[in-house]
């Protein structure tokens, strides 16, 4: 089943985040990931959620997401993202 990763970011360092984005997409592709959404101005239709930068990535399955997230090559990129932005992320699995 397809797994989607939803990430809500508040970016504090745009140049660093831009560098992260360019590097992380190529790495995600090695694990079957592909970007579906990068929305800088999401439209809120209900509730209190107020993401400022929303990203959705698609992976073949949940294990591919975990393999990507735990990959040694991703760890320095993850540290870069955590310095450049505050984020929330989750995995959802489709049918």
User: How many percent of the chain have pLDDT more than 70?
Assistant: 100
> Residue 5's pLDDT is what?
97
Distance CA 29, CA 64 (A): 10
Give the total number of structural domains in the chain.
1
Model confidence over 12-49: pLDDT tens digits? Answer: 999 999 999 989 999 999 999 999 999 988 888 999 88
User: In the 8-state DSSP scheme, what is residue 3?
Assistant: E
Contact 32, 59 (CB under 8 A): yes
Range of the domain at 17: 3-43+50-93
Average pLDDT over residues 50-72: 95
Residue 20: give its domain's CATH number.
3.30.70.100
Sequence length of the chain is 95
Residue 82 has pLDDT above 90, yes or no: yes
């Amino acid at each position: 089943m397809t797994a989607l990763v939803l990430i809500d970011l508040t970016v504090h360092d745009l140049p660093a985040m831009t560098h992260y984005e360019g590097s992380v997409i190529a790495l995600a592709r090695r694990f079957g990931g592909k970007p579906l959404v990068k929305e800088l101005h999401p439209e809120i239709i209900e509730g209190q959620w107020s993401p400022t930068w929303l990203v959705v990535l698609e992976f073949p399955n949940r294990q591919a997401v975990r393999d990507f997230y735990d990959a040694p090559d991703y760890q320095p990129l993850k540290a870069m993202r955590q310095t450049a932005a505050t984020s929330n992320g989750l995995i959802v699995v489709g049918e």
